[in-house]
Amino acid sequence: MGIDYYGVLNLKQNCNDLEIKRAFRRLAIQYNPHRQEDESVRELFALAAEAYDTLHDPYRRTVYDQFGEEGLKRGWQGSDKYYEPYTYHGNPIRTYQEFFGTASPYADLLDALHDPHPLFNLPEGRGVRRKMETIRRPLPLTLEEVFHGGLKKVRITRHVLIGVDKTTTEAREHVLKINIKPGLPSGTEFKFVEVGDQGPTTIPGDLVFVTEDRPHDRLWWKGEDITTEYDMCIDLYNITGWTSVDKSFKLSSAYHCAAMLVTGSGGKGTNLLMMCNVDLKEALTGCTIVVNTLDHKTLRVPITQVTTPEYEKVIQGEGMPQLTDWRHRGNLVIRFNMALPPYLPQASKKMVTRALRLAAVGGGAGEVEHIHKFIMLDKMRRISKSERLPQDL
């Protein structure tokens, strides 16, 4: 079911923005961390801050109303693009300060300008700064992207410290570039160190992207052949500029960030699997399958033998590239799904029975030829005399 953010703020779903602000102000004063030492009360304060952060934003609220908390935090595929999941930054003190403009809900504007530091008196501001939690996000990849590889651009918004005193934050947009190697298995983790939201009392958290395969309309990984250990370095870029130092990257500004790929193992093989639908005639007499490959080739694959449910047609070298060497590729494995006719006339049943009986007598060697013969005889019987070709004199 997920969290009921409206219930947390004691609101109805049809409430307006002003009611949301009033509800959060009331709970923020009630659960003020300056006045409360109880850990359970602090948890209620953090939950109220998360509810306000979700509902006061019109876009997040619309998504939450339609998909709930799980849909909001999972992301979803729209008609034209993929919508990134929402993740709360995890710092209720920041939400509190952004709402009131200061660490005190009773301070006026002049007090906020002259005394902006009460926030540091909270436990979060004492001693060593606490690092924020790691944020994990899915990175959906199409089969074409995994096949060809390349740079994947991901746009994020993070809060950065601004001003001389570095006590306030501003939302800024950054673009991360991730190097997708051909044949990259799903479940690969790309870790960007300390690129989360900045805060005066916290260390930015890490951001981890986990790759996952988007469904393809024709193909999918076979996925049981190999397990590969890999360790790669990736590139990272944002609008302020990055400079590379070995396997780490540093912002041109004073804020240090690093990017790396977490070492792990992939569970995907290099074979591609394709399911082909054939009818009974094609299964018995053979057919030609047209295959459009991921590298934009068109293959005409002849099927010359009787197709059984266990039969697989293997096309060498038309699968996914190997992660360790993209020049070596797996195979394309074609499996068959046979569709049986819902009804057969009695005459057709007799023809099929006779053809199969003759094939059995011949040890199966003439099975296809006999079926072809009887199909042609049946077609000839159906042609009217006026449509037949004139006989040679």
Query: How much is the average pLDDT of 294-310?
Result: 90
Mean pLDDT, rounded, for 271-296 = 90
pLDDT at 203 over 60: yes
Other C-beta atoms closer than 10 Å to the C-beta of 241 total 10
Percentage of the residues of the chain whose pLDDT score is greater than 70 = 68
DSSP summary character for residue 58: H
pLDDT, one tens digit per residue, over 142-201 is 999 999 999 999 999 988 888 777 777 888 899 999 999 998 888 899 999 999 888 877
Report whether pLDDT(83) > 70: no
CB 24, CB 50: distance < 8 Å: no
Contact 130, 201 (CB under 8 A): yes
Q: Which residue shows structure tokens 């799904």?
A: 337
- 93-107, 224-238, 296-310: which is most confident: 296-310
Between the CA of residue 164 and those of 118, 129, 142, 167, what are the distances in Å? Answer: 17, 19, 44, 8
Q: What is the pLDDT of residues 135-146, one digit of tens each?
A: 999 999 999 999
Hey, what CATH topology would domain 131-268 get?
Answer: HSP40/DNAj peptide-binding domain (2.60.260)
More confident residue, 81 or 297: 297
Task: Please determine, looking at this structure, whether the domain spanning 272-339 carries the CATH number 3.60.110.10.
Answer: no
- Domain boundaries along the sequence of the chain: 1-127, 131-268, 272-339, 346-383
Strands (E) across the chain are located at 76-77, 82-83, 130-131, 135-141, 150-162, 168-180, 189-193, 202-203, 207-213, 219-221, 228-230, 242-245, 248-251, 258-261, 264-266, 272-279, 287-292, 298-303, 312-315, 332-339
What is the per-residue pLDDT across 16-26, written as a single tens digit (0 to 9) for each?
A: 988 998 898 88
Q: Give yes or no on whether 1-127 and 131-268 have one common fold.
A: no
- Averaged pLDDT for residues 321-347: 88
CA 116/CA 118 separation, integer angstroms: 6
- As beta bridge partners, residue 321 has 329
Interatomic CA distance for residues 19 and 243, integer angstroms: 47
For 79-105, b/e burial (b = at least 16 CB within 10 A) is: eeeeeebbbbbbbbbbbbbbbbbbbbe
Mean pLDDT of the chain: 74
Query: 């992301």: which residue's tokens?
Result: 75
Is the pLDDT at 306 greater than 60? The verdict is yes
Selecting from 1.20.1260.10, 1.10.287.110, 3.40.50.150, 2.40.50.140, what CATH number does the domain 1-127 have? 1.10.287.110
